[in-house]
Homo-oligomer: A and B are copies of this chain.
Amino acid sequence: MARIQLGMVGGGNDAFIGGVHRIASRIDDRFELVAGALSSTPEKSAASAEALGIPRSYGSFEEMAEAEAAREDGIEAVSIVTPNHVHAAAAKAFLAKGIHVICDKPLTSTLEDAEALAASVAEAEALFILTHNYTGYPMIRQARAMVASGDLGDIRIVQAEYPQDWLTAPMENEGVKQAEWRTDPARSGAGGSVGDIGTHAHNLACFVSGLQIESLAADLQSWGKGRKLDDNAHMMLRFAGGARGMLWSSQVAPGNENALKLRVYGEKGGLEWSQEDPNYLWFTPLGEPKRLITRNGAGASEASQSVSRIPGGHPEGYLEGFATIYNEAADAIRAVQGGASRESAMGVLPDITAGMAGMRFINACVTSSANDAAWTKL
């Protein structure tokens, strides 16, 4: 089957997430990266493209969208991996040309941008896929399926947390590029930790529980000296239907590297999953011994096996989970190219709706915290 011709916006040298997208696009061999507008200047872009063996380089995403749309062998899809404030404009440019968009999260840096982008997506014929990559982990898929099938009974409690420690010291003042833009409201938006990682925890909590947050009460803090955005956020959650929860995001908790963790409890049982040990899922049916289900091992269901590549005991990781989003994006693109509806093609892929939910989440966090943690609707 022919590989999908792919372009990339952002992701030049030193950009962590750009490299991740490229590996993820290769793992299942569904894409061929042939074009890029990788950096902020044509020269840097060209240098990065050459270093990466990408044949066509452009000076800007606008130029790229124009030129690729005009080629017969032009890109069919584009990955947008810039800082948040560029997402909306870039995505709109490619959607307008009928090029499918795979966009990093959070959706945009402002709610206004997000709404404009959502309008464009609604009008477009191309697909818009948001890389909430943690939904690609096999055991997250299984957790979602187990909740949906009633293994936990009615859901009562959802505990989500995402602590990190890399901003414990004020790295943004020490020349760390990743730290600079992520702590800059102009480039990241109104949310600090809540935007960068809280959105992942929020997304995952909803993805697995099948529930939507109705309102939240949030207490945001900035511990790094001179930091403008939150680097630690505490919040309580009320889900539609009555379930309750808590969410903690932090970038200042020493000893935590990327410790996204989700726990869901219903009247019949519980589930626990940790991103740093992603091949395991604890299932705790009430009154029975705890069960440790392993990816592709005994107890693994179709939901997790279908997105696994190798046998149990051979750990898959972050890149494979990310690759599953790309693999399913390829399926979806081929499906709509073959005439399927956008909705049916998307399956469980994170979409503009998930992106808008994330933006409303960030907004509610910031608003609630400004109102002394008053309950705030999403």
A282: min CB distance to chain B, Å: 7
Task: Chain B residues near A53: list those with CB within 8 A.
Answer: 1-3, 29
* 5 pairs, A vs B, C-beta closer than 8 Å: A165-B284, A219-B236, A236-B373, A254-B270, A254-B284
Q: Contact: B288 with A298, CB < 8 Å?
A: yes
Q: Contact: B310 with A276, CB < 8 Å?
A: no
Q: Please provide the 9 A-B residue pairs with the shortest distance between their CB atoms, ordered closest to farther.
A: A255-B284, A257-B313, A258-B313, A289-B299, A315-B317, A317-B317, A314-B318, A289-B291, A254-B270
A164: min CB distance to chain B, Å: 7
Q: How far is the CA of A248 from the CA of B247 in the complex (A)?
A: 11
Q: Check A12 for interface membership: any CB of B closer than 8 A.
A: no
A217: min CB distance to chain B, Å: 6
Task: Chain B residues near A282: list those with CB within 8 A.
Answer: 255
Contact of A298 with B289 at beta-carbon distance under 8 Å, contacts A236-B236, A267-B223, A270-B253 already known: yes
Q: Check A330 for interface membership: any CB of B closer than 8 A.
A: no
Task: Chain B residues near A22: list those with CB within 8 A.
Answer: 29
A111: min CB distance to chain B, Å: 24
Q: Contact: A312 with B217, CB < 8 Å?
A: no
Q: How far is the CA of A250 from the CA of B276 in the complex (A)?
A: 25
Interface string of A261-283 (1 = CB under 8 A from B): 00101111110100111110011
Task: Chain B residues near A245: list those with CB within 8 A.
Answer: 234
Q: How far is the CA of A284 from the CA of B165 in the complex (A)?
A: 10
Q: Check A169 for interface membership: any CB of B closer than 8 A.
A: yes
Which residues 196-221 of A sit at the B interface, judged by CB distance below 8 A? 217, 219, 221
Task: Chain B residues near A23: list those with CB within 8 A.
Answer: 27-29, 309
Q: Contact: B309 with A298, CB < 8 Å?
A: no
Q: How far is the CA of A165 from the CA of B93 in the complex (A)?
A: 52
Q: Check A157 for interface membership: any CB of B closer than 8 A.
A: yes
Q: Contact: B276 with A283, CB < 8 Å?
A: no
